[in-house]
A and B are shown apart, each in its own frame.
Chain A
Amino acid sequence: MTVAPPGEAPARHRRKKPPLSEGARAERKLGLLLCAPAVIVMIGVAAYPICYAVYLSLQKYNLAFPNAVKFVGLSNYGAVLSSPYWWQALKVTVIITIFSVLFELIFGMALAEVMFRTIFGRGFMRTIALIPYGIVTVAAAYGWLYAWTPNEGYLSALFNNGAPLTSTVPSLAIIILAEVWKTTPFMALLLLSGLAQVPGDLEKAARVDGATWWQRFTRITLPLMKPAILVALLFRSADAFRIFDNIYVLTGGGHNTYSVSILGYDNLFSALNLGIGSAISILIFICVAIMAGVFIWGFGVKAPGADLAK
């Protein structure tokens, strides 16, 4: 048995493969065994169903007519892509994603500063900030719904007893508001890890050299935080794109405020159309894959955990 030098992980990684010692083989076997349950669950719940969805999306399959299942090739995709509903849903989803992630980035940065640097009650502020992160989205959404209900809600009363949830643009604004309120703390926490990596000395040196707060923020903090910001954007964009809970409660998708997830859900549970529903599912999956691809290869996001696998 070869004796491995008592080095760190990278040294072990560079070790030549062919002569696997007994110990190394045991280690490998144990590693595969330990990973097996997690991998099996992830394949069983995600990989297999997505393949099954591809298969379903090629069938004409309506649960109301379970005996009329028929292979129809790509015609479900044709039906979805030529439907104005799909494009409306995509437009709504993209608008919500862009605006909520943009506001979350701005407010998240501010909240991260508060959570990280405030001089009083830091623990308390962090606890308070975690509540929206932890709160059940549906519970918070009902709060927003009732706040904007005319004759019942304080926010509606503030705005001339208006009923903003009955037209498209105000509804979208409220959906974005609910989304931003709920997820800004998560964004702040993702940014916090970047903020913690900015060396304090550098800040201090810039301050001594007479840099203003804004200069220090744009010239030092932001560039050093760029990797953390990109990772946060990737996670939040993917998450915002699948928005469902807030819309389901606030408008139910009415007044042209349905997202792609709401559209997919309705096609399954209202129209009972497994074929069309699956085609929508696959198209959403492709959209998210493209988005992740743009972030990872286009902006060079270092995928989180990449250094764990060394």
Chain B
Amino acid sequence: MATTTRQKAGWGAANTVTFVVIAIPLLWIASLSFKTPAAIADPSFWPAQWTWGNYRGILTNSTFVRPLFNSIGIGLIATFIAVVFASMAAYAVARLTMPGKRLIVAGALLISIFPQISLVTPLYSIERSIGLFNTWPGLIIPYIAFGLPMAVYILAAFFQQIPWQLERAAKVDGATPWQAFTKVIAPLAAPGMVTSAILVFMFCWNEFLFAISLTSTTSARTAPAALAFFSGGSQFTTPTGPIAAAAVVITIPIIIFVSVFQRRIVSGLTSGAVKG
């Protein structure tokens, strides 16, 4: 199909509009993060004076560094466990003959549309009584539960595309079902696991409601929650610059992720979540 000049111009315009609409809010936060406190009170888009001061401020301040560390740790642990559990469940759903599959898929669907606020009150109460409140596991456990459905969908769809014969061949050669899983299927499933891990980690990284409800100090508070509790360097400085800098810091990993894994994220979200 030959492309006409008009088509080229049309797509060029569409690309440009899309790019501008997405980029401007991002550039604005970046610009704010480089403004000096004096320049903040100036609505021009770019800073009149540039400074690294906001970054220096937040990166030497434990009210942001500690939550950043919590975010990374809690995100990685929750992602790892969620992907392991989801792989096991997805394998069973996709490959094995067993009762109750429908129930598992329905449960996963239910969780993925579940209003988190409905769990905040009971989880707050339960976690306080069993000592999980304001701890890493107190956030990791709910994150695993809410990361699972997406991972199960993506992995089950992925497992279905892996050739059956290999598994059967392994069993003919005397492998147990468990060996067939770990030795044959798991390596083939690795790309699907990477995709679901990226998406689960992005969910954990983004989560806010549990993060502010189930924590009370920086010992477990994650970075998005810390943003909301920021105050200026002193009582009289507005925290605009530091908040913008912190927002940029927690956005950088996301930009790296989507740049490196664009294909996987697109295929994961289009194939796994909604094979309609």
Q: Which residues of A contact B (CB under 8 A)?
A: 6, 8, 12-13, 15, 24, 26-28, 30-32, 34-35, 37-39, 41-42, 44-46, 49-50, 52-53, 56, 110-111, 113-115, 117-121, 123, 125-140, 142-144, 146-147, 151-154, 156-157, 161, 181, 186, 189-190, 192-194, 196, 227-228, 230-232, 234-235, 238-239, 241-242, 244-245, 248-249, 260-261, 264-265, 268-269, 274, 277-278, 281-282, 284-285, 287-288, 292, 302-309
Using Cβ atoms and an 8 Å threshold, which residues of chain A touch B41?
A: 151-152
Closest A residue to B109 using CB positions: A303
Pick from A41, A44, A186, A196 the residue with the most CB of B within 10 Å: A41
Taken together as a complex, chains A and B put the C-alpha atoms of A302 and B274 apart, in Å, by 10
Give B28-52 as 1s and 0s: 1 = Cβ < 8 Å from A's Cβ atoms: 1100100000001111110000000
Using Cβ atoms and an 8 Å threshold, which residues of chain A touch B254?
A: 131, 134-136
Taken together as a complex, chains A and B put the C-alpha atoms of A284 and B119 apart, in Å, by 11
Q: Would A136 and B117 count as touching, CB distance under 8 A?
A: no
**Please, how many residues of chain B have a CB less than 8 angstroms from a CB on the other chain?**
111
Using Cβ atoms and an 8 Å threshold, which residues of chain A touch B228?
A: 138, 248-249
Q: Would B43 and A144 count as touching, CB distance under 8 A?
A: no
Q: Would A134 and B202 count as touching, CB distance under 8 A?
A: yes
Q: Would A308 and B111 count as touching, CB distance under 8 A?
A: no
Q: Would B119 and A139 count as touching, CB distance under 8 A?
A: no
Does B224 sit within 8 A of A, measured CB to CB?
A: yes
Closest B residue to A143 using CB positions: B29
Which segment of B54-62, B189-197, B255-263 sits at the interface?
B255-263
Does B247 sit within 8 A of A, measured CB to CB?
A: yes
Taken together as a complex, chains A and B put the C-alpha atoms of A120 and B85 apart, in Å, by 40
Measured CB to CB, the closest approach of chain A to B78, in angstroms, equals: 11
Using Cβ atoms and an 8 Å threshold, which residues of chain B touch A114?
A: 11, 14-15, 18
State whether A30 and B205 are in contact (beta carbons under 8 Å apart), knowing that A38-B86, A139-B250, A147-B28 are contacts in the complex: no
Q: Would A265 and B145 count as touching, CB distance under 8 A?
A: no
Q: Sample 13 A-B pairs with CB under 8 A, ordered by A number.
A: A35-B100, A42-B148, A126-B262, A128-B19, A130-B258, A133-B258, A134-B257, A181-B25, A230-B276, A239-B113, A248-B208, A308-B93, A309-B102
Measured CB to CB, the closest approach of chain B to A67, in angstroms, equals: 15
Closest B residue to A57 using CB positions: B121
Closest A residue to B14 using CB positions: A114
> Which of A34, A111, A181 contacts B91 (CB under 8 A)?
A34
